[in-house]
Amino acid sequence: MPPLFDEIVHKALSNDVRREILLSLSKKEKYLSEISLEIKKKPQTIDFHLKMLEEIGLVKGEWKEGKKYFYLTDRKIVDFLRHRKPIPEEFRPKAPHEIVLDMWDDIKKRLDKIEKRLEKLEK
């Protein structure tokens, strides 16, 4: 798997709702309302997370008998979830203050580069 794909999957799996959805689908294919009832979340919440899981290819949906049923595209993900392998730190969601600090560090680096370029132009 390419590193970018690993990063996307890890970020997707860092969310408890998405993990619960995947574990729910490990039992059998289900439609949105079934998943919603099982993991006790609103259908809108489940729909949002299912779309994300579909986009990255962990889940697929097919229409049957007027309902869209979802299923796992690769059962290997279940082993990952059941063994509760930790999500690497760099893929975990950051607290807002950490995001601001990271942005500040980035701005300082960019300003330092601009300052160095200006110094070169002055010489």
pLDDT score for 48: 92
User: Domain boundaries in the chain?
Assistant: 3-90, 93-123
pLDDT at 93: 58
Measured CA to CA, the distance from residue 38 to residue 57 in angstroms comes to 22
Question: Are 76 and 22 in contact, with CB atoms under 8 Å apart?
Answer: no
Residue-wise pLDDT for 60-117, tens only, equals 999 998 999 999 988 777 777 777 665 555 555 566 677 788 889 889 999 999 999 9
Which one is predicted more confidently, 99 or 40?
40
Say if residue 35's pLDDT is above 80.
yes
Torsions phi, psi for 3 (to 5 deg) = -55, -40
pLDDT-above-70 percentage for the chain: 81
What's the mean per-residue pLDDT of the chain? 82
Q: Is the pLDDT of residue 1 over 60?
A: no
- Provide the CATH number for the domain formed by 3-90 in this structure: 1.10.10.10
13, with CB counted inside 10 A (0-12, 13-18, 19+), is buried
Q: Are 9 and 53 in contact (CB under 8 A)?
A: no
pLDDT of 32 strictly over 90? yes
**Residue 25 token pair:** 């689908």
